[in-house]
Structure 1
Amino acid sequence: MAPTSPLTRSRAFTAAASIASVAGLLGILHYLDIPSLLQQRVKSRKVSSRCYSQNEEPSLAAFKTLVEQITLKETYPLASDIQKNIPIYDCRTITREKEHAWQDELYHVLVHGPGVFVLQNFFTDHDPIDTANAAYETIIADELAANGAKGDHFAAAGTNSRIWNSFSKHCLQTPRSFLQYYSNPLFKLVCEAYLGPAYRITSQVNIVRPGGKAQVCHRDYHLGFQTASDCAKFPKTLHTTTAFLTLQGAVAHTDMPLSSGPTRFLPFSQLFEEGFMAYRRAEFNEYFLQKYVSLPLEKGDAVFFSPALFHAAGENTTKDFSRSANLIQVSAAFGKTMETVDSLPLIEACYEGLRAQVGKNGGWSRDSEAFVKAVAEGYSFPTNLDRRPPAPGGMAPESEQEVLRRAVEEGWKREEVMDVLRTMREDSSG
């Protein structure tokens, strides 16, 4: 082989350098996301309507483009399976070393992916569910006798049995069962993946009897519970923001075969920016009915999803089977819960049990930490800073969670911790 000339080597070197330069430039453009930057620059120089108009029809074609994506298994390697575009995770495979990786995947599913995931074996021990179900039965019977049947969101009243604020009522009915149930550390893992710390849990029980009809396709709290005219009053940014203030979920308290009507989902629909204006429109509802997917669940499984996802509870077509779920709604520290939870009687009811749990475990366990985060308020505001100045070395006054942890660690009696919490509440007012 003839040796290459210096000129040839020089040209080859120059070509390689040019390719490297182009590749580097493309990398920079990709990193800076130049098209998006240019688009933002155009937007910054043109004033447009800050709100969506009820008179303008959202694009169904654009909506279809979003929701007709495919969920790839390669995107979610920790998922045990992908079915009907929904990632399925087996909670028995979660390890402490991979918790952050799990949370990263769950976050991606909700924000950039299909918007819904199933957690199999969320409860591997069914005793917390069985004792909760027994408490629910008593509550439903008492409330039915006192007040009659209750209405349901986006469905006909009278068919289903529903417990509003089952979170508080469960605790006050059977504190031991409540403590056991919400000590599940998976609540903390999932909630913090999407909402960060200081979240707030509320829950409602829904039991759909045989013949119970399907809900109408909808989005959820906050804007999902507003009328179309009210939604049109909120700026476009809040249509996006509201989806990140709440996490929706449900724990299966019975098996849920497809014939019983487990929740119907339209994966990727949470990505549609005009969704809160669109879901009520007939053409979007018709498309939902054509394209929705649903997965069967087993008792102890859970499903979590973005509140902006188009969804609806299904119809129970069985003859003799009631589908029961504890509907979980978690609010970020910066949002407001759908129901008012008075945490003080819940803490009072469970305090001795919590102390015993911590003592039995030889200190704070993941279970006890999950329970404190579920029951006590973790956000210090709003408050009266004259009466409750920021804690030494911090930016905020002590929260209920911090007081409760301190009380357990220092061995306070129940009366002591309740006196401190009541004083804190009084000092925070007005």
Structure 2
Amino acid sequence: MLRFALLLGASVSIAMMPSAMAQEQPFKIGVSNDQSGPYADQGGPGSALAARMAVEDFGGKVLGRTIEVVVADNQNKPDLASQIARRFFEVEGVSAITDGGTSAAGLAAQSMATQLNKTMLNTAGTAPGFSGALCSPSGTQWATSSYALANTVVKDLVREGGKKWFFVTTDSAFGNALEPETVKAIKAAGGTTLGSVKHPINTADFSSFLLQAQGSGADVVALAVGGSDLITAMKQAKEFAIPGRMVALYVSQPEVDSMGADTAQGLHFATPFYWNLNETTRAWSKRFVERHKKMPSMIHANTYVAVTHYLKAVAAVGSDKGADVVAKMKEMPIGDKALIQNASIKDNGRVVMDMYVARAKKPGAATMPGDSFEIVGTVPASEAFEDIALSGCPLIKN
């Protein structure tokens, strides 16, 4: 009897081991983006830090498990992003991916998340597909949209005399979505477009593209360009002394800071985040800078808010099943003390928030490091983003 009892006890212990081990497995959130290439300052290691800050502020645990952030460099390649997403989800036990990198890479990751009922928190890609024709019940698009970026700045510039526009555009899903949205906004405001020229990602010499812009006779040269490509284009545009107004259709704090005031002065752009907007943004940005040594971008801010909101939903649902968690995220308020203002998640996964018109400061106008631009206008969330009924998302019920 004693031997039987010992064997029975051992069997029970062995049977319980898988369950106990499962409880000890960390709850993983993956960051997939450009870690060292042209968009690394916009997202890159800063997004990993923002995700970790969200985890720390949440308390470090969810569903009784320690939360871990894992990182991969997708190099802006959709095929690599898809492979990383599959490995994250099927091998490493990741529950959600955030940032996503370029639109094409992010869409590849979202597709994999949809197949496996995991969560995609896209905080970088602006292409309409994320919350449009390729929308997902387990995906949310926190990155501001091409539509919002275009419409936030175009109306005022056309009204101020910027009637004729010429585009220098990145030949990617990002650029190829942003330019046509801007063209529509220009025409709606009474302006015209004189043409455009495309360039590949990570271009070192913009001279031929900028000369075409210069020769077009445009009032406004619109750069549908991002990351280090934008910095290079702006510096070379200054060298060419291109007349007219320069507009960056996708720019955030790190790029403005890297350009320097001499190059960036007068540059107009749209943003959903500004570090000096209120006490919440100032306090969080101070913590971020202490660890990252650079000012946060809008991607970093969105990543922090997205991961925080996601973890709250996971805790409320009691599981990491993507569609269930995202449904709860849509129900829950994002909060009035978030880094983005008046934010909410629509039925198609689109996150809307207030947008701001920003203008880079003149040389000598900064009062402290990072004081490189100012907010000159606000567009409420209800006006900044497109009507979701027109998004083409199959999740929208007619």
The bucket for the TM-score relative to the shorter chain is: under 0.3
Please, what TM-score do these two structures have when normalized by structure 2?
0.26
Structure with greater strand share of residues: 2
